[in-house]
Structure 1
Amino acid sequence: MTQATAIGFTAVLMWALLALFTIGSAPVPPFLLNAICFAIGGTIGLIWTARKGFAVLRGISWKVYAFGTIGLFGYHALYFSAFRLAPSAETGLIAYLWPLFIVLFSGLLPGERLRPLHILGALIAFAGAALIVLGRDPGGENNVAGLVLAFGCALTWAAYSVLSRRLGSVPTESVTIYCLATAALSVVAHLLLEETLWPTGALGWASVLALGLGPVGAAFFTWDIGMKKGDIQFLGVASYAAPLLSTLALVAAGIAPATTTLAIAAVLIAGGAALAASASARKGQA
């Protein structure tokens, strides 16, 4: 595993804590939470960028900034809207097609070679994720519009991730502007669509801060590095570790029970990632 791939995988590890911290942040509505967290993430980016100088941000095309903002804000807007219309496990599963799409779309990139084991590994890992997601909430309501939006959010994140590879010459500091612009758009969406509810107590504020520092902050910077310079097929399959690790975090916190289904899912996801790693190793030797 290259250094860039390892850095990219830290985003998956941070996203594993997304559910735990989100639960702790209640009752903050989604777009307000988005605004606060991306503002924190953007501030981290400003501090990080300051070491190189802000001139690095001025040399980037507005089209790149528009692309990144559409990717970050568009994904979250579609995700939240999908669950408002169709709050069910099926919605979550469709939204989690993005790692599989990343693997498939990566084959269209110049210089990338997609092997059958990459696809097989992604499908096996998806099966493991399906066991977890479908097992969380057998109830809930579905409607076509909500499921279509969930599919759209999966396509949006996969397209953002894969197309980031084409922007390999653009410094990762650009994500700072993506985050700040997403925060600003989230404020507008919150004012139009939501009631303002702030975190409750020290635990609530600590959860929001943790989200902004990690899963909805630094994770987007490390993911950018992985997508631009790392093994994109392996990272796509390895992303299915996020729902597994997320559930394990909830088990450790006493929020969710440990089940046999969880163990089976762990084997499937680990096996899928191993197949993808094997295919990547062969690609490197070819």
Structure 2
Amino acid sequence: MSRGQATVIGFSAVALWALLALFTVGSAPVPPLQLNAICFAIGGGIGLIWVALTEGFGVLRRIPMKVYAFGTIALFGYHFLYFTALRLAPPAEASLIAYLWPLLIVVFSGLLPGERLRALHVLGALIAFGGAALIVARGGVSARAEALPGYGLAFLCALTWSAYSLVSRRLGEVPTAAVAVYCLATAFLSALAHLALEPTLWPAGISGWGAVLALGLGPVGLAFYTWDVGVKRGDIQLLGTASYAAPLLSTLALVLAGVAAASPLLLLAAAMIAAGAFLAAMASKLKKGASD
């Protein structure tokens, strides 16, 4: 698999995450941690089926327990921190802070072996972040002192996902099959947290269950496998910058579904995200040319 192919596969995760909001709306009134438990169980289940049909379960026994612990802590930790941050701080501000993870991936990718960070990478990531900020905080921001704990958790959320992505790059020899175990362990921990912190509510009707199933198969399932391929074998700096397309695509999906209204702001955000991704791609091209 070439670096370019792996990057495209990795970006498919971003495209799937763009459907997260739409399907989450359809899954109401299921609480976040309960939804997490159900969806990660589905995502882990399809992973086990894929492992059984390809490499066989023997590949899972050869993966060290510390790798499983790392992946589980990252997946469960990210989602638990995110949901808690949204409870303690205004959702727009918390989401925007949490969405610093692509920028952190780009900035710290220069520490990875064989990677070189250029100014265009950082500039592209900053411009793309600005485009994402227009969408996430389009209702306005109003920082409040009492929300500081939530802001802190949101930043920890960003650190968790960026660290997971960067360390996964260092674990390039670990097969993507390991993600199936990450998902199942995350489902188990989410179920425990749900029972301790939330009421149990089930999806409303067939459409609600369909939304939950779609979440488990796509944004909270396949996406984690394709992201693993992308960050391990693809252009991680370009992937980090291009990840800012997720809130844009998510909003567009809501508009097409009639859940949200279109606005001129979307065009500006799209232009900024595209410009940021273009600059990151140019930087990667320059980096490749310098190494040839």
TM-score range, shorter chain: over 0.9
Unaligned runs of 5+ in 2: none
Alignment correspondent of 2:22: 20
Deviations 1:98-130 (A, max 9, x none): 000000111110110111000000000000000
Deviations 1:39-81 (A, max 9, x none): 0000011011012110000001000000000110000000000
Q: Does 1:99 align with 2:102?
A: yes
| 1:1-286 to 2 correspondences below 5 Å | 2-50=4-52, 51-136=54-139, 143-286=147-290
CA 1:186–1:208: 2 relative to 1, 3 Å? same
CA 1:41–1:136: 2 relative to 1, 3 Å? farther
Q: Work out the CA distance in 2 between the residues paired with 1:21 and 1:283.
A: 39
Q: Work out the CA distance in 2 between the residues paired with 1:243 and 1:228.
A: 23
Is this contact kept in 1: 2:74–2:160, CA < 8 A? yes
Q: Work out the CA distance in 2 between the residues paired with 1:80 and 1:233.
A: 27
Is this contact kept in 1: 2:20–2:215, CA < 8 A? yes
Using the TM superposition, give the Cα deviation of residue 137 of structure 1 relative to its aligned residue in structure 2, in angstroms: 6.1
Using the TM superposition, give the Cα deviation of residue 283 of structure 1 relative to its aligned residue in structure 2, in angstroms: 1.0
Is this contact kept in 1: 2:16–2:223, CA < 8 A? yes
For normalisation by structure 1, the TM-score amounts to 0.98
Q: Work out the CA distance in 2 between the residues paired with 1:220 and 1:84.
A: 25
Is this contact kept in 1: 2:90–2:147, CA < 8 A? no
- Root-mean-square deviation (CA), in Å? 1.2
Q: Work out the CA distance in 2 between the residues paired with 1:118 and 1:83.
A: 30
Dislocated runs of 4+, deviation >4 Å: 136-142
For normalisation by structure 2, the TM-score amounts to 0.96
Q: Work out the CA distance in 1 between the residues paired with 2:150 and 2:35.
A: 21
Q: Work out the CA distance in 1 between the residues paired with 2:61 and 2:143.
A: 47
Using the TM superposition, give the Cα deviation of residue 88 of structure 1 relative to its aligned residue in structure 2, in angstroms: 3.0
Q: Work out the CA distance in 2 between the residues paired with 1:24 and 1:137.
A: 25
Using the TM superposition, give the Cα deviation of residue 87 of structure 1 relative to its aligned residue in structure 2, in angstroms: 2.9
Is this contact kept in 2: 1:89–1:140, CA < 8 A? no
Paired letter, 1:200: A
Is this contact kept in 1: 2:22–2:254, CA < 8 A? yes
Is this contact kept in 1: 2:135–2:247, CA < 8 A? yes
Using the TM superposition, give the Cα deviation of residue 285 of structure 1 relative to its aligned residue in structure 2, in angstroms: 1.1
Paired letter, 1:30: P
Q: Work out the CA distance in 2 between the residues paired with 1:32 and 1:139.
A: 30
Paired letter, 2:164: Y
Q: Work out the CA distance in 2 between the residues paired with 1:185 and 1:136.
A: 33
Q: What fraction of aligned residue pairs are identical, expressed as a percent?
A: 70
Q: Work out the CA distance in 2 between the residues paired with 1:35 and 1:137.
A: 32
SS in 1 for 2:111: coil
Paired letter, 1:126: F
Using the TM superposition, give the Cα deviation of residue 224 of structure 1 relative to its aligned residue in structure 2, in angstroms: 0.2
Using the TM superposition, give the Cα deviation of residue 138 of structure 1 relative to its aligned residue in structure 2, in angstroms: 5.2
Paired letter, 1:82: A
Is this contact kept in 2: 1:25–1:208, CA < 8 A? yes
Is this contact kept in 2: 1:88–1:139, CA < 8 A? no
